[in-house]
Amino acid sequence: MVILRAGLCPGLTAEMIQLLKANGIATVVDLVSSDLEEVARKCSLSYKALVAVRRVLLAQFSAFPVNGADLYEELKSSTAILSTGSRSLDRLLDSGLYTGEVTELTGAPGSGKTQVCLSIAVSTSHDLKQNVLYVDSTGGFTASRLLQLAQTRTGDEEEQVEALQKIQVARVFDVYKMLDVLQELRCSVSQQVLSSSGPVKVLVVDSVSAVICPLLGGRQAEGLALMMQLARELKTLARELSMAVVVTNHVTRDGSSGHLKPALGRSWSFVPSTRVLLESREGTWGKASTRRIASLTKSSRQPTGIEVELDIGSCGVLEESPAASGEGR
């Protein structure tokens, strides 16, 4: 709801605004949707001036259509596929995390979501030498674990430090702080404030449900509106800044069928483009196993239902790197 004010666009003077207000036209939408002939008559303003102002306002506030061929050219050069550091997980995700998309990891507590996130962060910062922003809302992030993972990639201390320096961490515990962090990220990129080594390529949010679940329930739409706003921020960051966004989410049991389904409800289920479910099959492997099954539950590129096995041992889900001289599994 943009309110008309002087100087909003050239040609929109303060007296014009006063006259319009007197006739019930206060916002941009009001002006654009009204019959300009009538308005010109009632407010005794110049029709030509009104048409010109309308055109400028529309150009300023509406979105521009892009031709498909141009968009394709742009995407070809800006889309990247980032390997997660684990060959089986890459196979599940059709060679890795795609920039411009939101990928969701769902699973019960203890299924390994945080471990996978940490592994992705280290793999991106060390192997791919790209910056990572890790937003932690559960308190499950520990720098020592990150160091341990970095040590499995390389024995050289300097390289380890370099890898860790590329990972920024933000600890947030409510949705407003999370929105602030995301806005700050957007502003810093748009103002071209570069960190020492370039823009953030991977955004990890662990987890989204921890900040949203307290808001849901009850009859007010506010919680859902905040959730959709957060979803919109994440998708905008992914698309416009060419980032790969990874979020984690809990699971609940479906009331009628008893199947596991992602938490946060139907409205959220439309948000991620790819969804992976992590489970531990305690029946087959016993309680203390570090093996997990990751299955693809939503994808626009591959058939769902593909399953791979992951091991979240001391190396996270990262594969043995030939350069590592640290402990093996």
Partner 1 sequence: MSDGFRKAESGSQLLARLEGRSSLKNLEPCLFADEGFPIHGDVVEFHGPEGTGKTEMLYHLIARCVLPKSGGGLEVEVMFIDTDYHFDMLRLVTILEHRLSQSTEEMIKQCLGRLFLVNCSSSTQLLLTLYSLENKFFAHPSLCIVILDSISAFYWIDRSNGGESFNIQEMNLKRCAEFLEKLVREHHLALFATTQTIMQKSSNSTESSIHLKLHCEADVEYRPYLCKSWQQMVTHRIFFSKQCNFNSSKTFSIVSCHTKKNHVIKCSFSVAECGVQF
Interface residues with partner 1 (CB under 8 A) are: 1-2, 28-29, 32-37, 51, 57-59, 61-69, 71-72, 75, 79, 101, 220-222, 224-229, 231-232, 235-236, 238-239, 265-267, 269-271, 273, 298, 300-301, 303-305
User: Which residue bears the tokens 């990751």?
Assistant: 294
- Residue 59 CB, nearest distance to partner 1 (Å)? 7
| Residue with smaller CB distance to partner 1, 25 or 315 | 25
- Residue 15 CB, nearest distance to partner 1 (Å)? 22
DSSP code, position 319: P
| Residue with smaller CB distance to partner 1, 46 or 325 | 46
Angle of CA points 117, 273, 118, to nearest 5°: 5
Residue among 115, 92, 46 at smallest CA distance from 311: 115
| Residue with smaller CB distance to partner 1, 21 or 235 | 235
Q: Which residues contact 10 (CB under 8 A, 6 or more apart)?
A: 56
The CA distance from 213 to 8, in Å, is 40
| Residue with smaller CB distance to partner 1, 23 or 168 | 23
| Residue with smaller CB distance to partner 1, 22 or 71 | 71
Q: Which residues contact 222 (CB under 8 A, 6 or more apart)?
A: 215
| Residue with smaller CB distance to partner 1, 223 or 313 | 223
User: Which residue bears the tokens 């539950």?
Assistant: 297
The CA distance from 168 to 130, in Å, is 11
Dihedral-angle region of residue 148 (phi above 0 means left; psi in -120 to 50 means alpha; beta otherwise): alpha
| Residue with smaller CB distance to partner 1, 198 or 214 | 214
**Contact (CB, 8 A) for 16 and 7:** no
Dihedral-angle region of residue 42 (phi above 0 means left; psi in -120 to 50 means alpha; beta otherwise): alpha
| Residue with smaller CB distance to partner 1, 270 or 285 | 270
- Residue 235 CB, nearest distance to partner 1 (Å)? 4
The CA distance from 248 to 304, in Å, is 19
- Residue 32 CB, nearest distance to partner 1 (Å)? 5
The CA distance from 244 to 124, in Å, is 11
- Residue 184 CB, nearest distance to partner 1 (Å)? 19
- Residue 304 CB, nearest distance to partner 1 (Å)? 7
- Residue 239 CB, nearest distance to partner 1 (Å)? 5
- Residue 100 CB, nearest distance to partner 1 (Å)? 8
The CA distance from 213 to 188, in Å, is 29
The CA distance from 189 to 183, in Å, is 10
